């Protein structure tokens, strides 16, 4: 903290557990090749009563088709909505995937000079992977990548196809992230034999499957394992601090070149750690704060193994920007930043949470049309491909881990905490270099009023700050300001409220009083900047009512406008952001309050605008126009709109 009580997040050494390795996004280079494994895989769900037939019969020891009936399954995709089988749509337990791949001959030379790595972008939630019948990796948790070096297995049998077998289990327990519980229905007069259901405390469908790309990639045997970059800047110069980890030998040399977007070298360095000086830097600015948002340099790192004709090259995009917060402001590059954005979900028809490039690009076009400058990855880390576009377009991200639905007392115990700490390590390891990521969120709407929550969040947030001192940390609360035991440890207060929806339903007139009291109570208690991290109302597309009635498009518009009138007063004081719930309608479990999913989107699930989208578009562009730091070229564009 400086003398004014402001908190700066400057360059610092990011710390990692001793066993951690890097998780660089796979990119081709002169020394690295990449083979994508998307497409059709063989698939089989284990419908045995205990869901364990696949392990008892060792399905991984032979081609999956030889174990019994298999079906085609696309990867990446959720498996739930692909078929017409209702048992598969709501399936809980182990499912099996398999893919046979023919590898290039040059990858298979058994001379120890080439590593072959199998990498999964994410799979939900517990994964076990075999290659040619040998287990190579096991991973707990969805949403984050994992990989295995399979060189030894594939190089000893160069003429044999590489058979990849994956067993996934989507069961949630009180100690997973997100948590859940299995409820067994033992009354045989009411339920079939061996009947059970998965209970969760989150409001989105529990999609499962291999959700993100699966790739094989190569590196030399002496290779760049990890790169960590932090930045500081002034008006005339920026400093890019770097750390590089090389694995495979202790005898190597490192050279680094930082290039601008035109390919010009602006700084060079050598050695595993150091600092690059960049004169007159182009800073990374958020969308609508600069005529060239999302500016990135490219750090080319080359490792040369001593005494061996072997070289590895990796290029990392780098954005130069700083983060600084006071008791009333969030500053990016020294200028006030106001979050006017959305909450999102990875969710769409048919593919569920599976990565879909067409949908991703459509969503970013809608975000920019809307004038949104930010979003929260509610309620889990999003695909790396999405994060790349945030870096590119200047969309600011609150990066949230899968800590949603932490409601049960047993989910605050040491077993849960230890897993949560590991998940934060994995998330920061993946996204630590992204300029778009300005804050970590460690949970959404936990039962933070429970006594164990104090130690839990104190430990979790301290661990996150130790891993990455360069960013603020928060979690999103819906607890009472006077009872929340985790709020003392966050840097920014993120609060969710649904006045006139879940509370005082249909009574829009209570919003100004209740929302104002919410902000004033939180700020008086903590003296920290506040983001309205969720607010909104369901609307059924095409349902109209005047006067506005709940579920009509008019009611959603009216509720938003009531919230906005309070935001406009409080953003002149200490409110630093507003994130609508939600960007688009999304699927949930079936229930009497959900008709084919949650309808709080300002866009339909098919990405068509509701009336509320135009309300937000007008508001967000107006806020951008009022920004004192907005360039004239963008202001003229807004006036044109």
Residue 445 a catalytic site member? yes
What are the φ and ψ backbone dihedral angles of 60, each rounded to 5 degrees?
A: -75, -10
CB 339 within 8 A of CB 576: yes
CB 157 within 8 A of CB 132: yes
| Structural tokens at position 274 | 């150091």
CA 292 centroid distance within chain: 25
- State the sign of the Cα–Cα–Cα–Cα dihedral 448, 6, 626, 632: negative
CB 504 within 8 A of CB 562: no
- DSSP sequence for 215-239: EEEEEESSEEEEEEEEEEE-SSEEE
Exposed, middle or buried, 353 (CB in 10 Å: 0-12/13-18/19+)? buried
Cα–Cα distances in angstroms (integers) from residue 386 to residues 229, 354, 378, 522, 525, in the given order: 20, 12, 13, 33, 36
Helix (H, G, I), strand (E, B) or coil at 391: helix
Q: Cα–Cα distance between 583 and 604 in angstroms, integer?
A: 9
Q: How many residues does the chain have?
A: 641
Q: Cα–Cα distance between 151 and 149 in angstroms, integer?
A: 6
Residue carrying the six token digits 């688009």: 584
CB 332 within 8 A of CB 471: no
Q: Of 381, 394, 376, 345, which is closest to residue 439 (Cα–Cα)?
A: 376
Helix (H, G, I), strand (E, B) or coil at 640: helix
Helix (H, G, I), strand (E, B) or coil at 88: helix
Q: Of 303, 392, 431, which is closest to residue 32 (Cα–Cα)?
A: 303
CB 602 within 8 A of CB 583: yes
Q: Cα–Cα distance between 111 and 113 in angstroms, integer?
A: 5
Q: Cα–Cα distance between 127 and 209 in angstroms, integer?
A: 10
CA 36 centroid distance within chain: 22
Cα–Cα distances in angstroms (integers) from residue 609 to residues 359, 541, 579, 620, 627, in the given order: 15, 9, 17, 15, 26
Residue 145 makes CB contacts below 8 A (sequence gap 6+) with 23, 119, 120, 121, 122, 212, 384, 430
Residue carrying the six token digits 């106001």: 338
Q: Is 378 left (phi over 0), alpha (psi -120 to 50) or beta?
A: beta
Q: Cα–Cα distance between 92 and 83 in angstroms, integer?
A: 16
Of 445, 534, 562, 578, the catalytic one is 445
Give catalytic residue positions. 445
């Amino acid at each position: 903290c400086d003398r004014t009580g402001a908190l700066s997040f400057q360059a610092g050494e990011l710390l990692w557990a001793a066993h951690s390795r890097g998780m660089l996004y796979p990119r081709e280079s002169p020394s690295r090749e990449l083979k994508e494994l998307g497409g059709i895989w063989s698939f089989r769900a284990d419908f045995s009563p205990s869901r364990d037939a696949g392990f008892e019969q060792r399905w991984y020891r032979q081609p999956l088709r030889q174990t019994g009936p298999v079906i085609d399954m696309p990867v990446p995709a959720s498996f739930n909505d692909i078929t017409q089988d209702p048992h598969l749509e709501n399936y809980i337990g182990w499912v099996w995937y398999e893919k046979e791949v023919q590898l290039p001959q040059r990858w298979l030379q058994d001379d120890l000079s080439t590593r072959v790595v199998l990498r999964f972008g994410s799979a939900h939630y517990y994964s076990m992977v075999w290659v040619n019948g040998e287990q190579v990796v096991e991973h707990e948790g969805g949403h984050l990548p994992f990989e295995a070096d399979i060189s030894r297995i594939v190089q000893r049998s160069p003429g044999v196809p590489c058979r990849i077998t994956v067993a996934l289990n989507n069961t949630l327990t009180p100690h997973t992230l997100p948590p859940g519980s299995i409820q067994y229905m033992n009354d045989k007069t009411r339920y079939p034999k061996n009947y059970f259901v998965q209970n969760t405390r989150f409001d989105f469908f529990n999609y499962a499957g291999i959700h993100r790309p699966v790739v094989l990639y190569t590196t030399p045997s002496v290779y760049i394992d990890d790169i960590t970059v932090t930045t500081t800047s002034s008006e005339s110069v920026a400093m890019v601090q770097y750390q590089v980890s090389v694995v495979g030998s202790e005898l190597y040399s490192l050279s680094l070149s930082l290039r601008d977007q035109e390919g010009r070298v602006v700084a060079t360095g050598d050695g595993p750690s150091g600092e690059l000086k960049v004169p007159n830097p182009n800073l990374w600015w958020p969308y609508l704060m600069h005529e060239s948002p999302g500016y990135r340099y490219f750090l080319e790192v080359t490792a040369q193994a001593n005494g061996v004709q072997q070289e590895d090259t990796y290029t990392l995009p780098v954005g130069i920007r700083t983060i600084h917060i006071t008791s009333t402001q969030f500053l990016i590059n020294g200028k006030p930043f106001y979050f006017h954005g959305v909450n999102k979900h990875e969710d769409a028809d048919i593919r569920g949470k599976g990565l879909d490039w067409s949908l991703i690009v459509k969503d970013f076009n809608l975000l920019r049309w809307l004038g949104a400058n930010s979003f929260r990855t509610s309620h889990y880390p999003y695909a790396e491909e999405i994060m790349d576009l945030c870096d590119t377009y200047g969309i600011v991200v609150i990066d949230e881990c899968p800590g949603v639905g932490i409601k049960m007392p047993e989910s605050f115990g040491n077993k849960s905490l230890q897993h949560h700490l590991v998940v934060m390590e994995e998330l920061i390891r993946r996204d630590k270099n992204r300029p778009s990521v300005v804050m970590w969120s460690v949970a959404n709407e936990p039962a933070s009023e429970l006594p164990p929550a104090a130690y839990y969040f104190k430990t979790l947030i301290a661990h996150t700050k130790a891993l990455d001192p360069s960013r603020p940390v928060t979690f999103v609360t819906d607890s009472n300001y006077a009872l929340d035991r985790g709020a003392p440890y966050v840097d920014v207060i993120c609060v969710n409220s649904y006045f006139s929806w879940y509370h005082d339903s249909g009574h829009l007139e209570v919003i100004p009083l209740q929302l104002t009291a919410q902000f004033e109570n939180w700020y008086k208690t903590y003296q920290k900047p506040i983001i309205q991290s969720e607010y909104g109302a369901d609307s059924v597309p095409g349902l109209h009512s005047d006067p506005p009635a709940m579920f009509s498009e008019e009611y959603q518009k009216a509720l938003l406008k009531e919230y906005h009138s309070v935001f406009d007063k409080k953003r002149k004081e200490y409110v630093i952001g507003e994130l609508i719930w939600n960007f688009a309608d999304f699927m949930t479990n079936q229930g009497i309050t959900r008709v084919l999913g949650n309808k709080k989107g300002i866009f339909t699930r098919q990405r068509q605008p509701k009336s509320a989208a135009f309300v937000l578009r007008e508001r967000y562009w107006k806020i951008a126009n009022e920004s004192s730091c907005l360039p004239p070229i963008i202001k003229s564009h807004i006036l044109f709109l």
